[in-house]
Structure 1
Amino acid sequence: MSTQTLTDETATLAPVVDDMSIYVVPGRVKATIDAPPGYTPLRRALTDAIDAERLGFRRLILSERHGLKDAPVLLSAAAAHTTRLEIGTGAASAASRHPVVAGGFGATMQALHGPRMIMGLGRGDVLWNGQLGFDAFVDYAKILRRLWHGEKVTYDGPAGTLRDAKMDDVSGAVPPPQLWYFALGGGPRAARAAADPVWDGIVLYPFLTPEAVRVATARIRSECERRGRDPDSLHVAHCITSAPELDESEMRAICHARLVTYLQWPSFGDALVKANGWDMDIVRKLRNHAQLRGNATADQRFHRVELLEPAKLIPDEWITQVCAVGSVADCIQTIAGFREQGPTETILYGSTPRQNAALLDAWRARRQPSTAPEVSVGN
């Protein structure tokens, strides 16, 4: 598919819905166009980006995988095929990139594509490449800030050791990206870290219940107040897995099977169960399923369509608690319920921009009419 073909599909852009964003190409991908059933062709990242901009989503978020989903490559390609869409990483592991490398990625995106970049960071994974402690994580973000301001950084602390680290040609010339913290459940230590002024925003992971989102948001705001930061100065977004008006099998692959991969991962799943008040016995039974037993991270071995059998152990009521499923009206009601818990932006996850087109239109219609004009894509 040529660049011209991609661009021709989007002659007119709908007004931006400034509180609705979306992930693209979630999960595993394949390099070929004729990907196996359930897998996503890698090149769909570009069509998803164009669709997201055309439909009026504010931001595009990419959940990086170190294989065929390298964030700098895919996000730069997405930015090159769009004009106004904000572009961001999901929970990019702070443990996986030297600060100068991460800083260079963000600065180059800003310089090449305009001030549209959001550097989303997570603390990493204990099962792969380590996980930063909260102090190290905040220090890592502060180091990025200093590098983007053209400073020469010498540092010896929990985030490592740097001697005169710097980036060339950025001082005063390139606006720094936004820094967002992607947090699982907004527990006490995460809330304290999020309240640090280094962050522009915090994103709460998918599969949290409304009550868990309420508790996390209140805790984060309280920590901001405790340290003298205006809570409204920290943007709070919430991810929600959406499957609007999709058939039963696709909905279960997007929601139930994806939740299997979250719950099967011990450090992640245990925290999710605790935050949501779910029954740990169900999760133990899930982890002991013959297909999952002995696999530390199921989503590295199986695609979600291959996990539909263990997904039968996920109670349907869990899904209706935490996902936007059913009719568009049902999805809107679910999203609105989460918004009442404190977040001011929703990031849809798991399904494509086109699959969420009617949902986005309905959300736009329930809000005040946007004043953003329609614009045409240039050559």
Structure 2
Amino acid sequence: MPGPVVEDISAYLVAGRVASHLPADASDETAVRTVRQGIDDAVQAEELGFVNAWFSERWNLKEAAVFLGAAGVRTERIGLGTGLVSPARRHVLHMAAFGATMQAVAGPRFILGLGRGDHAYLRHEGLRTAGFDGIRDYVDILRRLWAGETLDYDGPAGTYRAIKLGDVYEGPPPRVYYGTFGLPKAAAAVAQTFDGVILPPMMTPEATAGSVRRLREACERIDRDPASLRIVQCVVTAPDLGEEEARTLAHARAVTYLQAPEYGNSLLRVNGWDREPAERLREAMRARQAAAGGDELADTAFHRRELLEPATLVPDAWMEESCAFGDVPACVAALQRYRDAGADEIATYGSTPGQNAALLEAWRARPAALSTTGATR
């Protein structure tokens, strides 16, 4: 029997790189994950009672429409969201068709999570990061297409003449979220345009509180009900996992975040972390990446399990204050700090839904006074 839905906890599926097949020598459950395992994870997340399942796109074995379409026909209730896709990667008609088709496949439970992306990633694909004006207009065009409009547009989101979907989903449109650190410019754009936000992993509870405050205040400035903005905080969870697997999920993943210039600098900024350890890490990674063929980004050159050595340069204190480690009660306490900081929903990140089953059950059973802490939906 499926467990009761827990409205404030969701699961991020197969975070990071995936493989087409499992190797014979996988050291633990998350060392290597396949796309098919990720679809199975969506089914298990629904059975366990997670409210939503999030999936991040990569242009290799992780194309979001294929994955989420498959997950949609194997599930019936759980929300299915991108976390994230870039507007630069899809013509607005393509993205509108993606959202409309997902609603038609799975019912009105698709969430389109958009993000600007790091310039270093998009350069590999011949693409550019859009500005906030372009993203706002892009979302407005999506909503008009989902409503059945035919429209002309010439502006920062492109130039379109008489574009339309023609056949539309006869029901509610997808909700649209934005991936952000919640810094001031992004907060203003979010308040004007989006139904919710996805805050990335490795933020401390104090950073989350700052982002929540900026986002809510941006809503108030335009007379929007702050509670109408759903705030999701991703948190790396490693409940009762071995030390090496936990370090791979946290420290090694942090290598890929900190090494990316724009993303890494934003993470340092919101957390108030010292730049010096990050610069030491970047210097070490430059030599490692040159030896591996000169790929600009650690995230595209290596799997997490290959980054445990440089991961020793990531301060343990940073991970301890921004992730959920240890036994289940310790992880529940860590996640509660993010609810106390104002997040509406926690997305477990890195570990699988099955690995978080006991954590979810303990979260469901925590005192009612704690379960209602944080901002309202």
In the alignment, does 2:281 pair up with 1:283? Answer: no
In the alignment, does 2:18 pair up with 1:29? Answer: yes
2:137 pairs with one of 116, 132, 139: 139
In the alignment, does 2:357 pair up with 1:357? Answer: yes
What do residues 6-46 of structure 1 show as CA deviations (whole Å, max 9, x unaligned)?
xxxxxx21111011001111111111244763221221012
- Residue number in structure 2 paired with 1:152: 150
- Residue number in structure 2 paired with 1:111: 104
- Residue number in structure 2 paired with 1:174: 171
1:262 pairs with one of 257, 262, 280: 257
Structure 1 residue matching 2:348: 3-state secondary structure: strand
- Work out the CA distance in 2 between the residues paired with 1:270 and 1:201: 23
- Residue number in structure 2 paired with 1:209: 204
For 1:88, the aligned partner's letter is G
2:248 pairs with one of 234, 250, 253: 253
Q: CA deviation at 1:292?
A: 4.2
- Residue number in structure 1 paired with 2:189: 193
In the alignment, does 2:10 pair up with 1:14? Answer: no
Q: CA deviation at 1:168?
A: 1.4
Contact 1:237 1:344 in 2 (8 A): yes
- Work out the CA distance in 2 between the residues paired with 1:226 and 1:36: 55
- Residue number in structure 2 paired with 1:44: 37
- Work out the CA distance in 1 between the residues paired with 2:20 and 2:367: 39
What TM-score comes out, normalization by structure 2 length? Answer: 0.92
- Work out the CA distance in 2 between the residues paired with 1:295 and 1:274: 25
Contact 2:212 2:341 in 1 (8 A): yes
For 1:291, the aligned partner's letter is R
- Runs of 5+ consecutive residues of structure 1 not aligned to the other structure: 1-11, 370-379
For 1:32, the aligned partner's letter is H
- Kindly report the root-mean-square deviation, in angstroms, between the aligned alpha carbons of the 2 structures: 1.4
State, as a whole percentage, how many aligned pairs show the same letter.
48
Structure 1 residue matching 2:223: 3-state secondary structure: coil
Structure 1 residue matching 2:288: 3-state secondary structure: coil
- Work out the CA distance in 2 between the residues paired with 1:302 and 1:33: 16
Contact 2:289 2:301 in 1 (8 A): no
Count of residue correspondences:
355
- Runs of 5+ consecutive residues of structure 2 not aligned to the other structure: 370-377
In 2 relative to 1, CA 334–343 (structure 1 residues): closer, same or farther, beyond 3 Å?
A: same
- Work out the CA distance in 2 between the residues paired with 1:48 and 1:124: 25
Contact 1:209 1:276 in 2 (8 A): yes
In 2 relative to 1, CA 36–271 (structure 1 residues): closer, same or farther, beyond 3 Å?
A: farther
2:159 pairs with one of 153, 158, 161: 161
Q: CA deviation at 1:296?
A: 2.0
Please identify which structure carries the higher helix content. Answer: 2
1:53 pairs with one of 46, 71, 76: 46
- Work out the CA distance in 1 between the residues paired with 2:342 and 2:270: 16
In 2 relative to 1, CA 367–115 (structure 1 residues): closer, same or farther, beyond 3 Å?
A: farther
Q: CA deviation at 1:125?
A: 3.0
For 2:2, the aligned partner's letter is L
Q: CA deviation at 1:368?
A: 4.3
Structure 2 residue matching 1:305: 3-state secondary structure: helix
What do residues 31-73 of structure 1 show as CA deviations (whole Å, max 9, x unaligned)?
1244763221221012101110111101110011111111111
Contact 1:217 1:341 in 2 (8 A): yes
Contact 1:117 1:177 in 2 (8 A): yes
Contact 2:203 2:322 in 1 (8 A): yes
- Work out the CA distance in 2 between the residues paired with 1:254 and 1:219: 29
- Work out the CA distance in 2 between the residues paired with 1:175 and 1:108: 12
In 2 relative to 1, CA 295–274 (structure 1 residues): closer, same or farther, beyond 3 Å?
A: farther
For 1:47, the aligned partner's letter is D
In 2 relative to 1, CA 36–169 (structure 1 residues): closer, same or farther, beyond 3 Å?
A: farther
For 1:231, the aligned partner's letter is P
